[in-house]
């Protein structure tokens, strides 16, 4: 690989075209397994949601409340793992394999205790949190049953997120995909058996869905750790074999300096989703249940773009580790072009087939009708929403870890939440207004991401010319 930026920029058009083809192949080699992994994860979630969707609306709402809470925590785990991915990718690009191992293990060492504490808290005092969403006694009871089971999976979620970050930071995206296959198979099989209790098996309903989820998470964590530490694993046979689990304050600070802003960025969305869930519950149980199912339907088409988000962070960090700034720009431009083509297709699917997507989620006609409107509107914001992930991933890897957090904060706390509260409680507008405000939030964040990216790119260019 050529690291001389000037040499790359002076190449002939044919040489540049050849470099772009090489980069495209590298991108596809990285993102295709990630796209498949994300699609597999969402497929399992969709099947689980579809099975729960055959239960009562209160079951769907109870799961939706718990998902809002656990997804907020998951954003923290995943955000810190993003910080680990950036550092691992940079270290791998610089040939520092020992640091890759230390980053992964320091992340595990600090995140697992946090997950255990949060799990204990929600197990014993989760009810006041549930009451923030609703006072419906039936929903509260089922939410409590569901939460007291899924908290046992929190440490496994942390392990899986760090395992994925480690493999992706090394440029290996196939292994996380294989782990996702195993997780999905466990979740689907156990979900069917435990939710519906076919034959002589007991029927657990919403509790069965929780047990299946925890079982799949435990299986995925065990498989991931085995693959990392087996004889030829990524975290074996490094030079530093002793004291590798001793806390390293400097490295932990470095991990969290990048990871916490990424976590807060995602948690902004989750906090807003909690408030938004309360707003939507004001429109009735059916509206909230339809919203939950609509999110799952929309997620199917978002999965390819989520893969591009991870790829943009990983590839930009690796190029920076090699000090190849021209390569970083090539990665970015190619990712945008590929993601744009995919986003156009997924956007058309949501716009043209909203009822079909909702039909997969539930057989309740009322929920289908409400959710189809949400899916239709979200189809129009697929392109800006998906491309903004690439902009923010590149910005984060380029040494501006807090900027994407501020962009998310603007869209959520200046646009989405205030306007939704005004529309629902002051103006008394219909649920359609909430769907339109969500779309406006996504568009505003995209425009801001584009502006910030070009500003940081200009600053980087001035800094390079001064060196």
pLDDT on residue 161: 92
Residues 6+ positions from 376 with CB-CB distance below 8 Å: 350, 351, 354
pLDDT of residue 17 exceeding 80, the answer is no
Whole-angstrom Cα distance, residue 102 to residue 238? 10
Alpha-helix residue ranges (DSSP H) falling in 54-205: 57-93, 97-125, 127-131, 137-150, 154-169, 174-196
pLDDT on residue 92: 86
Whole-angstrom Cα distance, residue 284 to residue 406? 33
pLDDT > 90 in the chain, percent: 38
More confident residue, 28 or 422: 422
Residues 316-343: pLDDT tens digits? 988 888 888 888 899 999 999 998 998 9
Q: Using DSSP, state whether 173 is helix, strand or coil.
A: coil
Which is it for the CA torsion 349, 353, 357, 358, positive or negative? positive
More confident residue, 43 or 258: 258
pTM (2 decimals)? 0.75
- Residue 430, Cβ neighbours under 10 Å: how many? 13
Residues 6+ positions from 33 with CB-CB distance below 8 Å: 173, 174, 176, 177
Whole-angstrom Cα distance, residue 335 to residue 409? 25
Q: Using alpha carbons, list the distances in angstroms from residue 128 to 132, 133, 134, 315, 347.
A: 7, 9, 10, 43, 39
pLDDT of residue 238 exceeding 70, the answer is no
pLDDT of residue 369 exceeding 50, the answer is yes
pLDDT of residue 425 exceeding 90, the answer is yes
Residue pointed to by tokens 């793992």 = 81
User: Any idea which of 162-171, 234-243, 371-380, 449-458 has the lowest mean pLDDT?
Assistant: 234-243
Residues 91-147: pLDDT tens digits? 887 778 888 889 999 999 999 999 999 999 999 988 888 888 888 888 888 889 999
Specify whether the CB–CB gap between 180 and 37 falls below 8 A: yes
Q: What number of residues does the chain have?
A: 467
Q: Mean pLDDT across the chain, nearest whole number?
A: 85
Across residues 360-384, what is the average pLDDT?
91
Whole-angstrom Cα distance, residue 31 to residue 309? 9
């Amino acid at each position: 690989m050529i690291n001389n930026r000037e040499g790359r920029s002076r190449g002939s058009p044919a040489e540049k075209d050849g470099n772009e083809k090489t980069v495209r192949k590298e991108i596809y080699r990285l993102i295709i397994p990630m796209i498949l992994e994300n699609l597999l994860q969402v497929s399992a979630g969709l099947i689980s949601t579809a099975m729960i969707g055959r239960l009562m609306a209160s079951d769907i709402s109870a799961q939706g409340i718990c998902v809002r809470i656990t997804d907020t925590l998951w954003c923290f785990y995943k955000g810190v793992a993003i910080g680990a991915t950036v550092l691992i990718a940079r270290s791998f690009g610089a040939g520092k394999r020992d640091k890759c191992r230390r980053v992964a293990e320091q992340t595990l060492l600090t995140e697992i205790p946090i997950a255990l504490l949060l799990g204990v808290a929600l197990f014993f005092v989760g009810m006041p949190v549930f009451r923030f969403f609703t006072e419906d006694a039936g929903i509260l009871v089922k939410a409590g049953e569901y939460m007291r089971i899924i908290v046992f999976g929190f440490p496994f979620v942390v392990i899986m997120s760090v395992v994925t970050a480690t493999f992706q930071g090394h440029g290996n995206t196939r292994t996380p995909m294989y782990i996702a296959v195993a997780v999905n198979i466990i979740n689907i099989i156990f979900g069917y058996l435990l939710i519906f209790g076919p034959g002589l098996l007991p029927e657990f309903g919403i509790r069965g869905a929780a047990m299946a989820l925890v079982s799949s998470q435990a299986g995925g964590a065990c498989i991931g750790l085995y693959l990392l530490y087996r004889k030829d694993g990524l975290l074996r046979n490094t030079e530093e074999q002793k004291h590798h689990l001793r806390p390293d304050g400097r490295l932990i600070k470095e991990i969290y300096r990048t990871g916490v802003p990424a976590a807060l960025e995602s948690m902004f969305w989750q906090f807003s989703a909690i408030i938004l869930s309360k707003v939507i519950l004001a429109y009735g149980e059916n509206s909230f249940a339809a919203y939950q199912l609509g999110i799952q339907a929309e997620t199917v088409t978002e999965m390819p773009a989520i893969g591009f988000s991870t790829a943009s962070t990983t590839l930009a960090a690796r190029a920076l580790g090699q000090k190849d700034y021209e390569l970083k720009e090539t990665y970015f431009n190619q990712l945008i072009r590929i993601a744009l083509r995919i986003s156009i297709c997924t956007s058309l699917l949501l716009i043209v087939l909203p009822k079909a997507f909702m039909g997969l989620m539930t057989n309740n006609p009322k929920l289908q009708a409400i959710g189809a409107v949400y899916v239709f509107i979200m189809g129009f914001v697929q392109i800006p929403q998906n491309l903004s992930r690439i902009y923010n991933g590149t910005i984060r890897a380029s040494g501006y870890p807090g900027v994407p957090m501020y962009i998310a904060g603007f869209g959520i706390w200046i646009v989405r939440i205030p306007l939704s509260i005004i529309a629902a409680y002051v103006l008394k507008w219909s649920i359609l207004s909430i769907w339109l405000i969500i779309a406006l939030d996504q568009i505003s964040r995209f425009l801001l991401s584009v502006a910030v990216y070009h500003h940081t790119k200009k600053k980087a260019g001035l800094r390079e010319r001064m060196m």
